[in-house]
Structure 1
């Protein structure tokens, strides 16, 4: 995006430099006496340098450019070329043209109304119509037409006085001024009457508009790019955290550290009650195993063992008669079966 902005700015600079290298616009004046001007019909125009005692239009020569002018009057009832428009034309090579005239303020002697039409390459490009205020005197150096947007090149320019069937009108042409490119760079001996800034105003405005549009597009593109980049970074951050969490995750143990229920299928002996501990002790002692040769009952059917020895033989602290050391406690273990829930499995006699 920065490269695009740089290229746009460079193009504008090169365009300005190109206009500067080509040269600057210089104004050239075509006086009314210049042979470049063609007046028609010839009898419809009067040269101020030719004496005319009967002419009523008498401006001050000192106020006119080069002290001269050409005048014509369109009149439907004129003796010479009645109801015929008066034209003056020239060929010029440039990009701008301006018309300077003298205007009469009077309404009689002379009749000072104006009715002019302007053509470039036989195309109507402008008109000037004005009613005289009815005062004495004249207006000098009046620009009745100005065009600074003509394509560079050779053009035909025509001024028409009056319209067929139109009102009476007076034209006093003083001079034409056109602008052209002299093809030279600035120098002390070349004086331009038109500021170059005005000449290049179109280019400057175009470059400014292009710069603004480029800046807006660049800002939008930058914001979209930053938003997309931040979204991508956020996604990458989430993925990395996910991989780290998966790597540090401890597998859930399937081994319970505590057993809340007991299954006799996991043990060969009943839960560690007082009776079962005694039974285990007797079973682990060879001398005791010899005293009881019976097979160990099915543990899946045993739930609880109870000491069924009479109390008189189990409590020695109550002052009861002594018991023979060879006497044995009587233990009864009960279990459950699906077909007989309350069946006594066997009796064990364990030596005290």
Structure 2
């Protein structure tokens, strides 16, 4: 069975797919950059170690920072298949408390299916990092949700790149 890319901006790349594009909640104004292109990303230009857009799949990404008291934030996709993988760009070790940690929870078809935690320890961004994988889903339509969540006083920084599915 072939593997298909579901891009954070351009959506499902399977030929003939009728899947809607990714849904970002709250609406796009909390997600940076608007439109999801890393080219204009302020994080790519205002960080000590910028994100390189050429290293992002289809040169796109979406970012969001979640702190205590923020509105629930998530991104969801709907796809037809039997497996799902989620890939992110993970932050390096920085002195900034709002971009060093990533805490994510995952929901598949309304069931909590996992959690991911990362604290930057390297000096560079980590690209194409598999943060979630699930196989052996029943063939059919599925909804998958990523929710960045702070952990107490630690903020959660998400740089979503893309998904793959079969």
* TM-score bracket relative to the smaller structure: 0.7 to 0.9
Aligned to 1:51: 40
Give the counterpart of 2:149 among 156, 162, 165.
162
Query: Any conservation in 2 of the 1:117–1:128 contact (CA below 8 Å)?
Result: yes
Describe how 1:21-40 pairs up with structure 2 within 5 A. 25-35=1-11, 36-40=21-25
Compute the RMSD of aligned alpha carbons: 2.1
Query: Any conservation in 2 of the 1:107–1:113 contact (CA below 8 Å)?
Result: no
Structure with bigger gyration radius = 1
Aligned to 1:146: 133
Higher strand share: 2
**How many residue pairs align between the two structures?**
149
CA distance in 1, matches of 2:41, 2:154: 24
Aligned to 2:53: 61
Please report how far the alpha carbon of residue 39 of structure 1 lies from its aligned counterpart in structure 2 after TM superposition: 0.6
Aligned to 2:158: 171
Q: Is the counterpart of residue 118 in structure 1 residue 86 in structure 2?
A: no
Please report how far the alpha carbon of residue 166 of structure 1 lies from its aligned counterpart in structure 2 after TM superposition: 6.0
Q: TM-score, normalised by structure 2?
A: 0.80
Query: Any conservation in 1 of the 2:149–2:155 contact (CA below 8 Å)?
Result: yes
Query: Any conservation in 2 of the 1:83–1:164 contact (CA below 8 Å)?
Result: no
CA distance in 2, matches of 1:117, 1:53: 26
Q: Is the alpha carbon distance of 1:136 and 1:164 closer, same or farther for their aligned partners in structure 2, counting shifts above 3 Å? A: closer
Query: Any conservation in 1 of the 2:88–2:160 contact (CA below 8 Å)?
Result: yes
CA distance in 1, matches of 2:79, 2:160: 17
Q: TM-score, normalised by structure 1?
A: 0.39
Q: Deviations along 1:83-112, whole A, 9 cap, x unmatched?
A: 223200011111000001100112334622
Look up the SS of the partner of 1:66 in the other structure. Answer: helix
Query: Any conservation in 1 of the 2:93–2:119 contact (CA below 8 Å)?
Result: no
Describe how 1:244-283 pairs up with structure 2 within 5 A. none
Query: Any conservation in 1 of the 2:66–2:157 contact (CA below 8 Å)?
Result: yes
Higher helix share: 1
CA distance in 2, matches of 1:132, 1:107: 7
Q: Where does the alignment leave 5 or more consecutive residues of structure 2 unmatched?
A: 12-20
Q: Is the alpha carbon distance of 1:84 and 1:118 closer, same or farther for their aligned partners in structure 2, counting shifts above 3 Å? A: same
Q: Is the alpha carbon distance of 1:96 and 1:105 closer, same or farther for their aligned partners in structure 2, counting shifts above 3 Å? A: same
Q: Where does the alignment leave 5 or more consecutive residues of structure 1 unmatched?
A: 1-24, 77-81, 180-352
Query: Any conservation in 2 of the 1:83–1:165 contact (CA below 8 Å)?
Result: no
CA distance in 2, matches of 1:89, 1:113: 21
Give the counterpart of 2:63 among 31, 47, 71.
71
